[in-house]
Structure 1
Amino acid sequence: MIDLHCHLLPGVDDGARDMEEALALAQLAVEQGITHSVLTPHIHLRHYPNTLESLTPHFHRFKKALAQRAIPLQVALGAEVRMAPELLLGEAWKGLPKLGSTEQGRPVLLLEMPYSHVPAGTAQLLRWLSSQGVQPVVAHPERNREIIAHPSLALTLKGTGAWLQGTLSALGGSFGVEIKRVAWELLDKGAYHYLASDAHRIDKRSTRVEHVLQMLTEGLGFEQTQVLTQDRPWAIVASRF
């Protein structure tokens, strides 16, 4: 699996609390079949005012620690960016960490909505980013309360040209029956461009993904599961590794 959404970088957001937990998550990821991970710490002005410059030293320390422990997880630095005008409009998006790029060379940017609702103007913002040459990805739409009530809203966002990223643990039921139902509905409708772990901590929302991958293989078949967890993610990040 190629994981394009995880919070393994220690001490910078609500993910891994320290280096030991980060390394434990990385070791578990390897054991579960994850070979490459793009680390996506939150960038959120109010709670996690991270920047590419502030995150880079943390990334290099983590990469060095992986090598010292001989943990064969390949990593790159990205971010999960809160969908806010201050972070995205004008030239601001250019300074944000990207996941990778499309086959056409468009930078791929992972975006997060609030869980409570789909903010007014979200579709317009996604279209504007596309007009700037960006490929936006909307993280875990299945966990947004407004989309839970009206799953077709996720398809409306996809209709802007944005990609949607589903979360494996949501498909596995870790967030409850209702979110699992919406996640599988979106999956069945072909809404997701790829799936990721969104791993945070070793004791909750970890990199333990093998059982959900098995469920997907049984439900979708091996080829489609590979498209969602390996082929499409790798097409985005191949140039980074």
Structure 2
Amino acid sequence: MLEEGIFDIHCHIVPGVDDGAADIEETRKLLEMEYKQGVRNIILTPHFRFQMFETPLEKVQRQFRLAEEAAADISKDLHLYLGCEFHANMEMLSMLREKKVSTMAGSRYVLVEFSHNSEASYIRERLSAMLSGGYRPIVAHIERYESTRTDLDFVEELTEMGAYMQINADSIVGKDGFFTKRYCQKLMKNDLVHFVGSDCHDSSKRISRIGEAYSYVIKKMDTDYAKQLFIRNPQKIIDQKI
């Protein structure tokens, strides 16, 4: 697709640790799908959420190594990094400091998920705590939350605080409905998006459309802006430039 390759910073490809890839065979299919779409760097972000997804980090790391082996079989220029989609809670800082969950590729960036109906005050407080603790929160799929969907000013407030915004590829290309697609367009036109992720979970229903989203952003915005979201900003995570 392009020489430098694009990034996927949000996906569920680590086998057998959450509701994503069930086994290494599914992991391999997803990695092949990503590679064919022009992805060359992937941050794998298995869920951590109390009472739902609490796989110990040691197991996640062990399963991640299996994914790395599968990627090496596909191509030497397919690079994997470990992260986590960390559902917001009141123990976030202590869990990060005690290394019970992964940051994004070992950086200070953390992919943070909220519940659909999380109130603006809770989102603001949790992100503020993360920032005060020295982390750089990336808010996962902000198009899903009532408090951000209905208030662009609130999204702008969060970015001015220092938080980063991520939207899903499916939302960009319209797979999550017209209104979600239009909302994502508004976010991009107001320069309120920093990252795009596939949020893929399997090779049949919740697939990766990251390449399609990249092409769509080029068409609707321009190539430079697409490279900012899909290449340059993600590279800052890997380079740990904050």
Taking structure 2 as the reference length, the TM-score comes to 0.89
Q: 1:69 to 1:178 in 2, by over 3 A?
A: same
Q: How does 1:99-110 map to 2 (within 5 A)?
A: 99-100=104-105, 107-110=108-111
CA distance in 2, matches of 1:117, 1:14: 22
C-alpha deviation, 1:72, in angstroms: 4.7
Q: Is residue 2:52 matched to residue 1:51?
A: no
How many angstroms does 1:128 deviate by? Answer: 1.9
- The question of whether the paired residues in 2 share the 8 Å contact of 1:27 and 1:71 is answered with no
Residue 9 of structure 1 corresponds to 14
- Structure 2 partner of 1:74: 79
Aligned to 2:3: none
Verify: 1:37 aligned to 2:37, yes or no: no
Take 1:31 and 1:118, find their aligned partners in 2: how far apart are those partners? 39
Residue-pair matches, total: 233
Q: Secondary structure at the match of 2:115?
A: coil
Shift of the alpha carbon at 1:202? 1.0
Conserved 8 A contact 1:10-1:16: yes
Which residue number in structure 2 is paired with residue 197 of structure 1? 198
Measure, in 2, the Cα distance between the counterparts of 1:153 and 1:49: 31
The 1:69/1:188 distance shift into structure 2, 3 A limit, reads closer
Q: CA deviation at 1:217?
A: 0.5
What letter is aligned with 1:85?
Answer: M
Q: 1:92 matched to which residue of 2? A: 95
**How far apart, in 1, do the equivalents of 2:144 and 2:128 lie?**
22
* Structure 2 spans left out of the alignment, 5+ residues: 1-5
Q: How many Å apart are 1:73 and its aligned residue?
A: 2.2
Q: 3-state SS of the aligned residue for 2:39?
A: coil
Distance 2:206 2:76 in 1: 20
- 3-state SS of paired residue (1:35): strand
Find the counterpart in structure 2 of residue 154 from structure 1. Answer: 155
Q: 1:212: Cα distance to partner?
A: 2.1
SS at match of 2:194: strand
- State the percentage of identical aligned residues: 27
8 Å contact kept, 2:13–2:21:
yes
Aligned residue number for residue 227 of structure 1: 228
What is the letter of the counterpart of residue 229 of structure 1?
A: F
174 and 58 in structure 1: CA distance in 2 versus 1, 3 angstrom threshold: same
Shift of 1:119: 5.7
**Structure 2: how far apart are the matches of 1:123 and 1:198?**
23
Task: Map Cα deviations across residues 9-66 of structure 1 (whole Å, 9 max, x no partner).
Answer: 1121111122111111100111100001010000101110123222111111221233
Aligned residue type for 1:66: A
RMSD over aligned CA atoms reads: 1.9
Alignment of 1:103-182 (within 5 A): 107-118=108-119, 120-182=121-183
The 1-side partners of 2:8 and 2:38 are apart by 10
The amino acid that maps onto 1:208 is: R
Q: Distance in 2 between matches of 1:32 and 1:118?
A: 36
1:159 counterpart SS class: helix
Task: Specify the code of the residue in structure 2 equivalent to 1:205.
Answer: R
> Residue 32 of structure 2 corresponds to which residue in structure 1?
27
Please give the secondary structure, in 2, of the residue aligned with 1:54.
helix
Structure 1: segments with no counterpart, 5+ residues: none
Contact 2:117 2:145 in 1 (8 A): yes
